[in-house]
Structure 1
Amino acid sequence: MTALTVRLPNSVHQKVKELAARDEISVNQFIASAVSEKMASLMTLDFLRAEAAKGQRSDFERYLGMVPDAPALPGDETP
């Protein structure tokens, strides 16, 4: 593990301490979890953007054209 010094405004530090205590975890665990969640969010966006860049409009339209032109099934209607 790596030690890291982080400077936080006093108000943020106080709120982190309160939230960590509420979850019965340490401030360190709270911050590690928050950083992990942010990383997962950014990495997911990167993945989705990369996948979207591979898409082609012609493929979308071809598959959309395969959808039957029929009324929605009961329960699938839009309000």
Structure 2
Amino acid sequence: MNFALRIPDYYRQEIEALKGDVSINQFIISALSEKIASLRTEEYLQERANRSSRAHALSILKNAPDVKPVEEDKL
């Protein structure tokens, strides 16, 4: 599938600066792929959230041990 795409100059300059060694076409395809993945992930997480239960989550957390985190888990 082919599209004629008009890119404003300010986006074109940003693309040129950020694209590295790939073509503008590949850069745009990659950007589209990332956007689609982001939207699909958001949709998936929203569906999961809609099926969730606060009471169930709290019941799971109630079973968590009350201990300090190990060193590698600390921020």
| Fold match by TM threshold 0.5 | yes
Identity, % of aligned pairs?
31
Alignment length (residue pairs)? 75
How far apart are residue 78 of structure 1 and its match? Answer: 6.3
Root-mean-square deviation over aligned CA pairs: 2.3
Q: Which residue of 1 aligns with 2:67?
A: 71
Point out the structure with max Rg over C-alpha.
Answer: 1
Residues 37-56 of structure 1 correspond to what in structure 2 (within 5 A)? Answer: 37-56=34-53
Q: Runs (4+) of structure 1 moved beyond 4 Å?
A: 76-79
User: Take 1:66 and 1:17, find their aligned partners in 2: how far apart are those partners?
Assistant: 53
- Check if 1:9 corresponds to 2:8: yes
Cα–Cα, structure 1 residues 28 and 73, in superposed 2: closer, same or farther, change >3 Å? closer
**Gaps spanning 5+ residues in structure 1: where?**
none
Q: TM-score, normalised by structure 1?
A: 0.76
Question: Structure 2-normalised TM-score?
Answer: 0.79
- Cα 1:29–1:67, aligned 2, differ >3 Å: closer, same or farther? same
Structure 2: gaps (5+ residues): none
